[in-house]
Structure 1
Amino acid sequence: MKQRSVLITGASIAGPALAFWLRRHGGEIVVVERAPELRDGGQTVDIRGAGRKVVQRMGIEQAIRENTTHEDGIAFVDAENRTQAGIGAEAFGGEGPVAELEILRGELAKVLIARAQEGVTYVFGDQVTGLVDDGEKVEARFLHGATRTFDLVVIAEGINSRTRKLVFGDEVTMRPFNLYTAYFTIPRADTDGRWARWFSAPGSRSVLLRPDNLGTTRAAMMFLTSERGYEKLDRAEQQALLARVFADAGWEVPRVLAECFKAKDFYFEDVGQVRMPRWSKGRVALLGDAAYCASPVSGMGTSLALVGAYVLAGELGRHDDHREAFASYEKILRPYVKEAQSVPRFAPRLASPRTRPAIALRNTVLRFATVPVVQNLFGKLLSPPTNAITLPDYGTWTG
């Protein structure tokens, strides 16, 4: 690869993965992260399909296995905590709702950063406030650090990336699902076992409790609504909103709500997809959620981040001209992203039905999901298309 200096903004999954592969090709890599330190924990993510092939090529599959949540499957329960349907982690060849490799987002970030430290500079507690691309270099201004110049900049941030806006303005189109989700960690209770538990209440409200490998439980509270703007409320207002929405839901919701107000890692989002007409502009490129978030509904976020990082680094290694590299990266990855984003608008409604009869019907249908005769049909609905790409061989494998 032509020796380049590259600034990567974002140190979650896509950023460190890109740093790893860029170092395999050579170059000076700086990763800047707004958080003051590595965000450990986080919610559970899965590694499957092409994403799993990438971590194998990175030589980190075993390290990931040693830090998985050891989740045995997902159970759909009623208000009395009785299992109405269950799908084990081994279903659909380990590519179902719960994958064989489930790991906390922060734990995966730790593994990636540990593998991508040599030759990479990580700067925590800072952020880009300005980018000036003069055609030859990109001048990056920081909130705290000194202004620096780089050959290239890659924005590997979240769905609402501030740095993306500095370069691409309002080019982004958001595809909403009318779904709000709150994520946070709660103390483990006696009822929390090795199976994730999904409870649905009338009114398209659901709560998901998932085991982790750190002695706690990861909670997600979800509700569908046509009302917009809740993501702009402050934390206290969002927590109060959840208390109102889930007040009469039953099951273990009172316990979850009580812990919601105490949680230090509370995060609330308007679930949606990012649609960008282009993933690069001049010497700046987009990667991961900032470019093509498919939403948690798709089950493809981690695979897109890992595969995208692999392809972008590989194309930069293959082309001396960054414009050719960015164009090839987009040409290779866009079909995969399109497949990942082809989530039906009714998918959240299927997951969180509005009425008790609809909830009962969903559970009845799910009871047959793993029956061999109908498994292929359900596989199309419950297994995301994570293998819908042929990974290029850039000759940089380590595993």
Structure 2
Amino acid sequence: MSSRSVLISGGGIAGPTLAYWLARHGFRPTVVERAQGLRSSGNPVDVRGPALPVAEEMGIMPRLRDVATRATAMSIVDASGRQVARVALPATRSAAGNREVELPRGDLAAVLHESARDDAEFLFDDTIVTLRQDEHGVDVTFDRAEPRRFDLVIGADGLHSAVRRLAFGPESGFVRHMGLYVATLPLGGPAGNPHDVLTYNVPGRLVSIHPSRGHALAAFIFHGPAISGLDHRDTERHRRIVTDAYAGVGWRVPELLDRLRKTEDLYFDSVSHVRLPTWARGRVALLGDAASCVSLFGDGSSLAIAGAHTLAKALAARPADHAEAFRHYETEHRALVDPKQRGIGRATALLVPKTRLGITARDLAARVWSSRR
């Protein structure tokens, strides 16, 4: 059994999942995460499709169900708050045997970390600064920790991946803005409706309130061109961008914008495609959003879990040939990712129509679809 060392950049979803499976195949995984600890915030995500058998094999499904959200439907409302249409959410559409689960992203990351922490080393509040690889390994320097050498390095560090930048080149060569931005923030208390995600649209802009698990979350999703020089860590600029985009919008938007101006827990980013001709370069490979972001609409968390399992299995089956293992992982996982990336445009048009006519047509379709279930 191999005892090769693997450095994984990113402690969110893909990173801990990969660490868990690598440890079980005899590798020595180390996870480095820029944040000081586990992040408690984040929008709700689904564990479904190819992630379900992985989560079941890990034995974490009971825990995931314990921390699942309470949302059962999406209610589309008008400016007065009147319900226009109501659609059951995917995890509640079928009979009780449906295994899908929706939960806050931070809770999913925490469960995955709990599963991996006893068999993997975690370095929080740190990041990779340089990578230098040769035929036999990769020399890594960190912002805080002492330099170390690893057999392999995996970038599971998201849309703005440091590993991708260091090993493959500037972000501008691989990340394509899809014409949307998203901002999310906690509301500090329960939602008025504990079971429905409330959604309100005006042309090109959406705002929603998700009940989560007793701690409601607000989301702003809106169309906009690429913003030159936008720093994904410049929170004050993010506040201004969202406030300007929603100026004059009705329903509960003024109240939500007021909370957005005050919160210390704001997430903001563009909705983007990540496309690379290959996910590996020498002894460095990419996983999750770093390799193939399907941002917001494409089951990113489920694909990250499935991809981590595929990568670990490929490396374990080819202990003497990491290049062939990376190729096998990429071929198998692209078959899941590519259709999701191709479907982003359709999902965008349905969720955030650009015109009043588009909103009307979407709402009518939702009512018809719901009445037939």
2:348 and 2:230 mapped to 1: Cα distance? Answer: 18
Change in CA separation of 1:99 and 1:276 when aligned onto 2, cut-off 3 Å: farther
User: Which residue in 2 is equivalent to 1:186?
Assistant: 187
Q: Deviations over 1:154-182 (max 9, x none)?
A: 11011111221101114842232210111
1:190 and 1:48 mapped to 2: Cα distance? Answer: 25
1:358 and 1:319 mapped to 2: Cα distance? Answer: 51
User: Which residue in 1 is equivalent to 2:314?
Assistant: 315
Tell me the amino acid that sits aligned with residue 249 of structure 2: A
1:371 and 1:54 mapped to 2: Cα distance? Answer: 34
Match of 1:119, SS state, is coil
Match of 2:369, SS state, is coil
Q: CA shift at 1:371, angstroms?
A: 4.5
Q: Deviations over 1:215-238 (max 9, x none)?
A: 321111111123533843732222
User: Which residue in 2 is equivalent to 1:253?
Assistant: 253
User: Which residue in 1 is equivalent to 2:334?
Assistant: 334
Tell me the amino acid that sits aligned with residue 308 of structure 1: G
| Greater Cα shift, 279-288 or 230-239 | 230-239
Contact 1:231 1:270 in 2 (8 A): no
Q: CA shift at 1:100, angstroms?
A: 4.1
User: Which residue in 2 is equivalent to 1:220?
Assistant: 219
1:230 and 1:207 mapped to 2: Cα distance? Answer: 25
Tell me the amino acid that sits aligned with residue 294 of structure 2: A
Tell me the amino acid that sits aligned with residue 180 of structure 1: Y
Q: CA shift at 1:363, angstroms?
A: 0.7
User: Which residue in 1 is equivalent to 2:231?
Assistant: 232
Match of 1:29, SS state, is strand
User: Which residue in 2 is equivalent to 1:205?
Assistant: 205
Q: CA shift at 1:356, angstroms?
A: 3.0
Q: CA shift at 1:99, angstroms?
A: 9.0
User: Which residue in 1 is equivalent to 2:177?
Assistant: 176
Change in CA separation of 1:24 and 1:184 when aligned onto 2, cut-off 3 Å: same
Tell me the amino acid that sits aligned with residue 312 of structure 1: L
1:332 and 1:347 mapped to 2: Cα distance? Answer: 24
Change in CA separation of 1:70 and 1:317 when aligned onto 2, cut-off 3 Å: same
Q: Deviations over 1:195-230 (max 9, x none)?
A: 11111013x1110111122x3211111111235338
Match of 1:23, SS state, is helix
Q: Is 1:51 matched with 2:51?
A: yes
1:254 and 1:334 mapped to 2: Cα distance? Answer: 42
| Greater Cα shift, 6-15 or 355-364 | 355-364
Match of 1:123, SS state, is strand
TM-score, length basis structure 2: 0.93
Contact 1:21 1:310 in 2 (8 A): yes
TM-score, length basis structure 1: 0.87
User: Which residue in 2 is equivalent to 1:108?
Assistant: 108
Tell me the amino acid that sits aligned with residue 220 of structure 2: M
| Greater Cα shift, 124-133 or 49-58 | 49-58
| Greater Cα shift, 263-272 or 145-154 | 263-272
Contact 1:230 1:238 in 2 (8 A): no
User: Which residue in 1 is equivalent to 2:290?
Assistant: 290
2:254 and 2:229 mapped to 1: Cα distance? Answer: 21
User: Which residue in 2 is equivalent to 1:279?
Assistant: 279
Q: CA shift at 1:190, angstroms?
A: 5.7
Change in CA separation of 1:4 and 1:190 when aligned onto 2, cut-off 3 Å: closer
Tell me the amino acid that sits aligned with residue 251 of structure 2: W
User: Which residue in 1 is equivalent to 2:356?
Assistant: 356
Change in CA separation of 1:230 and 1:216 when aligned onto 2, cut-off 3 Å: farther
Tell me the amino acid that sits aligned with residue 19 of structure 2: A
2:74 and 2:346 mapped to 1: Cα distance? Answer: 21
Match of 2:75, SS state, is strand
Match of 2:294, SS state, is coil
Contact 2:71 2:196 in 1 (8 A): yes
Q: How does 1:147-166 map to 2 (within 5 A)?
A: 147-166=147-166
Q: Deviations over 1:58-81 (max 9, x none)?
A: 110011000111211111111111
Q: CA shift at 1:355, angstroms?
A: 3.2
Match of 1:20, SS state, is helix
Q: Is 1:22 matched with 2:25?
A: no
Give the CA RMSD over aligned residues: 2.1
Match of 1:309, SS state, is helix
What runs of 5+ residues in structure 2 fail to find an aligned partner?
Answer: none
Contact 2:52 2:100 in 1 (8 A): no
Q: CA shift at 1:189, angstroms?
A: 5.6
1:216 and 1:13 mapped to 2: Cα distance? Answer: 21
Q: Deviations over 1:111-147 (max 9, x none)?
A: 0111112221111001100111111011110011100
User: Which residue in 2 is equivalent to 1:124?
Assistant: 124
Contact 2:181 2:221 in 1 (8 A): yes
Change in CA separation of 1:140 and 1:73 when aligned onto 2, cut-off 3 Å: same
Tell me the amino acid that sits aligned with residue 267 of structure 1: Y
| Sequence identity percentage | 37
Contact 1:131 1:138 in 2 (8 A): yes
Match of 1:75, SS state, is strand
Match of 1:80, SS state, is coil
What runs of 5+ residues in structure 1 fail to find an aligned partner?
Answer: 376-399
User: Which residue in 2 is equivalent to 1:368?
Assistant: 368
User: Which residue in 1 is equivalent to 2:324?
Assistant: 324
Q: Is 1:75 matched with 2:75?
A: yes
Q: Is 1:143 matched with 2:143?
A: yes
2:53 and 2:346 mapped to 1: Cα distance? Answer: 31
Change in CA separation of 1:227 and 1:109 when aligned onto 2, cut-off 3 Å: closer
Q: CA shift at 1:360, angstroms?
A: 2.1
Give the count of matched residue pairs. Answer: 368
